[in-house]
Amino acid sequence: MSVFLVITVIGDDQPGLVEQLSTTISGHGGNWLESSMSHLAGKFAGILKVAVPEARADELKAALGSLAQLKVMAETAIELPKRGPTRRFALSLVGHDRIGIVREVSQVLAKHEVNVEKLTSHTAPAAMSSEVMFHALAELEASASQDMAQLQRDREKLSDDQIVDINLQIESQ
């Protein structure tokens, strides 16, 4: 029987880090399933999901921990009970870059028990003014009974310098 490991890695960015990681995983019977990796401020950072035979999971964790050029944390994933029907939707945010912008949006989402399943963000200069703008895209999940109108009203109370669109896509489960 296989178990899933969720692995986070960080290290000084240099060629060969993904090769070292993938060689270690496959050498211990692990199957690389999903990942997201980036170069951030001179660092290589990533998160990945691996399936590994249960009998070899601890061995793989130890081997990953001994990689000299990466700091690795590996956790065995636990299957959570299925929740009731949910709806999935996306959030797109553009605003003037400033401290607290993610906090404000995430507080509204948490108040409405909305789960952030994926979040990507970056900064870029505005086309006309060259002011630094913060851009974020999030994949979200909430109960099918979520009051989307109230979520939208609370979202509209955020700072005037933010443009936030919430697009609803219902997913059946």
**83 CB-near residues (< 8 Å, 6+ apart):** 143, 173
pLDDT tens-digit map of 137-172: 999 999 988 888 898 888 878 766 566 655 555 554
How many residues appear in the chain?
Answer: 173
Class of the 86-169 domain? alpha beta
**143 vs 113: CA distance, rounded Å:** 8
pTM (predicted TM-score): 0.81
Find all residues with CB under 8 Å of 63, minimum gap 6, and list them. Answer: 24, 27, 28
On the question of a common fold for 2-76 and 86-169, the answer reads yes
What would the pLDDT profile of 103-133 be if each residue is shown by its tens digit? Answer: 999 999 999 999 999 999 999 998 888 889 8
Domain boundaries in the chain?
2-76, 86-169
- Pick among 3.30.70.260, 3.40.190.80, 2.60.40.10, 3.40.50.2300: CATH of 2-76: 3.30.70.260
